[in-house]
Amino acid sequence: MDVRHRPHTGRAPGVNPPARRKVIIVGGVAGGASCAARLRRLDEDAEILMVERGPYVSYANCGLPYHIGGVIPKESSLLVASEQVFREQFAIDVRTGCEAVAIAPRARTVDLRNVATGEVTTESYDALVLAPGAVSIHPPLPGIDLPGIFHVRTVPDARAIREWIERGTSFLTGMFNYSGIQAIKPLRRAVVVGGGFIGLEMAENLVHLGFDVTLVEMLDQVLAPLDREFARIVEAHLVRHGVHLALSDGVAAFAQREGGVLEVQTKGGKAYPADLVILALGVRPDTALARAAGLALGERGGIRVDEQMRTSDPHIFAVGDAVEVKDVVTGRWSLLALAGPANRQGRVAADVIAGRDARFRGTQGTAIVGLFGGAAAWTGVNEKTLQKLGNTDCEKIYLFPNSHAGYYPGAKPLELKVLFRKSDGCLLGAQALGLDAPAVDKRISALAMAIQMGATIYDLEEAELCYAPQFGSAKDPVNFAGMVAADVLRGDMPLAHWTATNGTFLLDVREPVELAVGSVPGAVNIPLGQLRARLGELPRNRDIHVICRSGQRAYMATRVLMHAGLRARVLSGGMMSRAMLVVTEDTTASHPGWSPAPAPPAPAPQTR
């Protein structure tokens, strides 16, 4: 991973400017709009034409679920920059409702079709930037185009969903016209298909709108980038907030029943009635234009580009959700539909077109999703991917620190998993959960930068981070992760995991009163304070795995045992990591980091 800084150098003094170049950008939103604005700031003379087949050139599609749920009341708040802004502030020719339908790479021309009239015109270019984005996956299932079934991809999508909620089926009609004396309303039902970002965000917002929500997911977990034990905790959190989960079951068909009510039929033979269905099956790169132009596509189906966002044609660039990117941790090609990388790619393409030596470093998939007041976030590679790749040079630790100093009111536990290389301590990935969402964001963002800079767990030990009791701890969770991992690699804290305890002697060093909360069958309880006086009760010819609540007392006990010549290991994360395995088997189970919530109240009468 090359993380060296590459300075951007402008035009040398006294050098005549090049002839006026014409740049056409196909697609706006994140990558295309970012490229257009950046290019104008770098080159005042360039002729820039940006075309967008939709009605809006730049909008916040990440905010669509929250607009549907009413968190963002005004649709106009989602519009980042209008045609007028691009024209007046950037002198960019913007054409909405204009679709690029064909590229002639040798002639360097592109055919543009007016969506409203069908008229086709041809424009020449010196450089062409493709930012077509991705299209929602829309499988050819029976009934998938029935009224009341929606994708959540564009502003018009969100508008249509809001309108349907207000006056869709005969059941929904008039739901916003109940008077104050009509205290009881029939429950509205929604089915969300897909357990990724959009699916979970839509499930949450529909619950807030008073819907009874069922989420159907073909995989055996939600949020595929999380490892399974963390995903199970998220699932339990969803269930406690009223979301019904149907995992490991794909949709087979949709049907319409009496009164316009929909029915979602699954491959497992289940049928879920719904007044509204949200399709959140993910996206695929929109590569039709690139494929027709003969541009190279990658193994994952996206447009193949180099570090400077050039395609196989040196005069054509591509950015955003349509391109394949290199995973900086695994070195493999991947698809990543996130706004942050798309914006950075747009800037890189603009810099290169303007003559600068800019390069896109790749991505590590850093992301976060908010759910019912909490958050789940991750960066880098997860454990299941490392296992799939056959990577055995890795270790993991589990931590359960507070979001800030425990003595300051409001501290909440975080659940943190950190992956690193055993050979050199290089940080590989991290995942975090917690009900203090900003605290989750803060730690994963710090760890994401550490991965980007090629940091090791030893660097985390020494990281200098902000501290005040309401924001963190003197030993921040990021520092704490580095210290624990460094102890593991230095041999100060031999580690074991709950998946490998067969045949070992289990020693529980918690206080007896704690065993009432949870205990491990067959474990011997010797409280930490009594351990030195009772060393003779422990075997010298067996491995001893030491248990406590979260790992701290087990570490202290392990040091005592090692100094006494015993073979001891800390069970990583203690009883709290074991609880994650319990949650893995039972999504209704509780876990300290995501405390149980009361069942959602019956929806109050709504008026509009």
Q: Binning pLDDT at 50, 70 and 90, where does residue 173 land?
A: low
Q: Binning pLDDT at 50, 70 and 90, where does residue 81 land?
A: confident
Output the pTM of the full model. Answer: 0.88
- The predicted-structure confidence for 124-167, as pLDDT tens digits, reads as follows 999 999 999 999 999 999 999 999 999 999 999 999 999 999 88
Q: Check residue 240 and give left, alpha or beta (phi > 0: left; psi -120 to 50: alpha).
A: alpha
CATH number for 367-483 (one of 3.40.50.150, 3.30.70.20, 3.90.1150.10, 3.50.50.60): it is 3.50.50.60
Q: Binning pLDDT at 50, 70 and 90, where does residue 170 land?
A: low
Q: Terminal CA-to-CA distance of the chain, rounded, Å? A: 55
581: pLDDT strictly greater than 90: no
Can you tell me which residue has the tokens 């999504």? Answer: 587
pLDDT at 237: 96
In CATH terms, the superfamily for domain 149-176+185-281 is FAD/NAD(P)-binding domain (3.50.50.60)
426 is catalytic: no
Q: CA angle, corner 201, sides to 218 and 260, nearest 5? A: 70
pLDDT at 580: 85
Which residues on neighbouring strands pair with residue 136, listed in sequence order?
283
- The predicted-structure confidence for 402-459, as pLDDT tens digits, reads as follows 999 999 999 999 999 999 999 999 999 999 999 999 999 999 999 999 999 999 999 9
pLDDT at 416: 97
CATH, range 22-133+284-353: 3.50.50.60
pLDDT at 95: 96
45: pLDDT strictly greater than 90: yes
- The predicted-structure confidence for 338-356, as pLDDT tens digits, reads as follows 899 999 999 999 999 999 9
pLDDT at 41: 96
DSSP 3-state of 259: helix
Pairing of strands 47-52, 505-508: unpaired
Cα separation of 95 and 598, whole Å?
A: 50
Cα separation of 124 and 280, whole Å?
A: 38
Same fold, 22-133+284-353 and 149-176+185-281: yes
Cα separation of 460 and 447, whole Å?
A: 8
pLDDT at 582: 66
Q: What is the mean predicted confidence (pLDDT) over 92-98?
A: 96
Asked if CATH classification 3.40.250.10 holds for the domain at 495-585, the reply, yes or no, is yes
Q: What is the mean predicted confidence (pLDDT) over 166-180?
A: 58
Q: Binning pLDDT at 50, 70 and 90, where does residue 370 land?
A: very high
Q: Which of 35, 62, 98, 548 is catalytic?
A: 62
Pairing of strands 251-256, 262-266: antiparallel
- C-beta separation of 453 from 389 below 8 A: no
**How many helices (H) does the chain have, and how many strands (E)?**
14, 32
Q: Binning pLDDT at 50, 70 and 90, where does residue 185 land?
A: low
573: pLDDT strictly greater than 80: yes
Q: What is the mean predicted confidence (pLDDT) over 18-40?
A: 91
Average pLDDT of the residues of the chain: 90
Q: What is the mean predicted confidence (pLDDT) over 385-393?
A: 96
Q: Mean pLDDT check: name the lowest of 119-128, 184-193, 241-250.
A: 184-193
What is the CB-side half-sphere exposure of residue 577 using CA atoms within 13 A?
23
Q: Binning pLDDT at 50, 70 and 90, where does residue 604 land?
A: very low
Q: What is the mean predicted confidence (pLDDT) over 452-472?
A: 96
Can you give the residue ranges of every domain in the chain? 22-133+284-353, 149-176+185-281, 367-483, 495-585
326: pLDDT strictly greater than 80: yes
- Of the chain, the percentage scoring pLDDT greater than 70 comes to 89
pLDDT at 6: 44
Enclosing H/E stretch for 457: helix 457-462
Task: Pull the structure tokens for residue 47.
Answer: 């002729």
Taking every pair of C-alpha atoms in the chain, what is the biggest distance, in angstroms? Answer: 90
Cα separation of 364 and 451, whole Å?
A: 8
pLDDT at 598: 36
503: pLDDT strictly greater than 90: no
